[in-house]
Amino acid sequence: MSKRIDVENLNVYYGDFLAVEDVNMTIDARSVTAFIGPSGCGKSTFLRTLNRMHEVIDGAYAKGKVLLDGEDLYGRGVDPVKVRSQIGMVFQRPNPFPTMSIRENVLAGVKLNNRKISKSDADELVESSLRGANLWNEVKDRLDKPGSGLSGGQQQRLCIARSIAVKPDVILMDEPCSALDPISTLAVEDLINELKEEYTVVIVTHNMQQAARVSDKTAFFNIAGTGKPGKLIEYAPTQEIFNNPKEKATEDYVSGRFG
């Protein structure tokens, strides 16, 4: 289920512009890894290269290697569609499919590529995914109602249920709580803690307390100035990043001196 990610010499470009420079890191299986750093430092861009979602943006491409349990995601003949079904993604804003019911939303990824699923299997999967996302008790009586009728926090957990329904190896989260209120944020954070039992979770966050609360390891990205590429400054266990960072820039950032 859960797989390890090794990133080797990864550079990300938007056209001629080098957005992220030379990242090397190893993300452990069954752990939560947080990416922090100021806006524009390339952490979201880098996150997207982990399941090739950056390719959706015109002119974006990556050079280097991203190995999922040793298998290069950028290897010859690797289909980005397949990569994304192995590495799920949760976005900044909750984005359930508005034309689908809650149940259909959960099954959306499962029914892709003409896969068929029997009704009883589907029922089971809907329940287990929604339970996995701590949403089952809130929505079990209205599975056929539109997903867009839920509150923001519920919608985000529905999106998480939708990604875990396809049984991915890794779940990427791009500031999943930035559009949520504190209570919903707490619900999602609790969920992240449970998810790491089964999945490798990578989360980008602007909220340093959140990184401290949920992650095992933290990567700090920084940028030397506008127009300069983002770089991975320091990558260490979360405790170390927040209490005893090696780099001056990390210390300045986590202590609130800038960013």
CB closer to other proteins out of 56 and 256: 56
Torsion of CA 236, 237, 241, 245, to 10 degrees: -60
- Interacting residues with other proteins (CB under 8 A): 51, 53, 56, 58, 81-82, 84-86, 88-89, 91, 93, 95-101, 108-109, 112-113, 146, 148-149, 159, 162-163, 166
As a whole number of angstroms, the distance between CA 22 and CA 244 comes to: 24
CB closer to other proteins out of 134 and 148: 148
Instruction: Give the shortest CB-176-to-other proteins separation in angstroms.
Output: 13
Instruction: Give the shortest CB-85-to-other proteins separation in angstroms.
Output: 3
C-beta separation of 147 from 101 below 8 A? yes
As a whole number of angstroms, the distance between CA 98 and CA 152 comes to: 13
Instruction: Give the shortest CB-59-to-other proteins separation in angstroms.
Output: 10
Torsion of CA 89, 94, 100, 101, to 10 degrees: 110
Of the candidates 122, 171, 136, 177, the residue with the CA atom closest to the CA atom of residue 153: 177
Of the candidates 149, 215, 203, the residue with the CA atom closest to the CA atom of residue 172: 203
As a whole number of angstroms, the distance between CA 165 and CA 127 comes to: 10
Instruction: Give the shortest CB-160-to-other proteins separation in angstroms.
Output: 12
Instruction: Give the shortest CB-127-to-other proteins separation in angstroms.
Output: 19
As a whole number of angstroms, the distance between CA 114 and CA 213 comes to: 40
CB closer to other proteins out of 102 and 212: 102
CB closer to other proteins out of 93 and 206: 93
Instruction: Give the shortest CB-258-to-other proteins separation in angstroms.
Output: 30
CB closer to other proteins out of 96 and 245: 96
Judged on CB neighbours under 10 Å (0-12, 13-18, 19+), 93 is: middle
CB closer to other proteins out of 99 and 244: 99
Tell me the DSSP string of 157-203.
Answer: HHHHHHHHHT--SEEEEESTTTTS-HHHHHHHHHHHHHHTTTSEEEE
CB closer to other proteins out of 57 and 224: 57
Torsion of CA 44, 64, 61, 195, to 10 degrees: -30
Instruction: Give the shortest CB-179-to-other proteins separation in angstroms.
Output: 11
